[in-house]
């Protein structure tokens, strides 16, 4: 009924638990940051900077608080966004100018098409009357 757990299965279970704990730690850190941002309260410091996990005589430090500096990335994303907005406005302006130039020709073509369609329908009505 009960079987002995194989070493590879133990490794797989330990790896899964380690990944789960890492995801939980990162999630808690993100939630704390968001709550501090939403409530405009300063972040609370932990008493320890990291937790040390010991598995089979291996010491694995797990950082509790990870600090990142995204100012350079934010700068480049802001520049990219502004370039995108500028290009979009210039494309809109060029498309509007192009439409102003092409609009009379399109209106003339549509007017001609309507007139020819009307003439064709009139001719078809005459042919139908002749054959009745």
Q: Quick one: pLDDT at residue 42?
A: 66
CA distance 99 to 106: 10
Return contacts of 54-57, CB within 8 angstroms, 24+ apart.
Answer: 55/14
Kindly state the average pLDDT of the residues 118-129. 92
CB 22 within 8 A of CB 62: yes
Q: Which three-class secondary structure state does DSSP give residue 41?
A: coil
pLDDT band at 8; cut points 50, 70, 90: confident
DSSP type of residue 3: -
CA distance 104 to 82: 34
- Please check the confidence at residue 25 and state whether its pLDDT lies above 80: yes
Q: Which one of 35-39, 64-68, 89-93 scores highest in mean pLDDT?
A: 89-93
Least confident range of 34-48, 71-85, 92-106, 118-132: 34-48
Count of Cβ atoms closer than 10 Å to residue 80 Cβ? 10
- The residue whose two tokens read 């130039």 is 101
């Amino acid at each position: 009924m009960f079987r002995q757990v194989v070493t590879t299965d133990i490794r797989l279970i330990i790896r899964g638990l380690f990944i789960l704990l890492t995801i939980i730690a990162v999630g808690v850190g993100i939630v704390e940051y968001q709550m501090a941002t939403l409530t405009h309260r300063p972040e609370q410091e932990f008493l320890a900077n990291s937790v040390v996990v010991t598995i089979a005589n291996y010491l694995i430090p797990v950082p509790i608080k990870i600090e990142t500096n995204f100012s350079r990335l934010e700068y480049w994303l802001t520049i990219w966004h502004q370039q995108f907005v500028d290009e979009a406005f210039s494309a809109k302006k060029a498309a509007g100018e192009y439409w102003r130039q092409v609009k009379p020709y399109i209106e003339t073509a549509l007017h001609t098409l309507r007139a020819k369609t009307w003439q064709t329908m009139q001719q078809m009505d005459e042919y139908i009357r002749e054959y009745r």
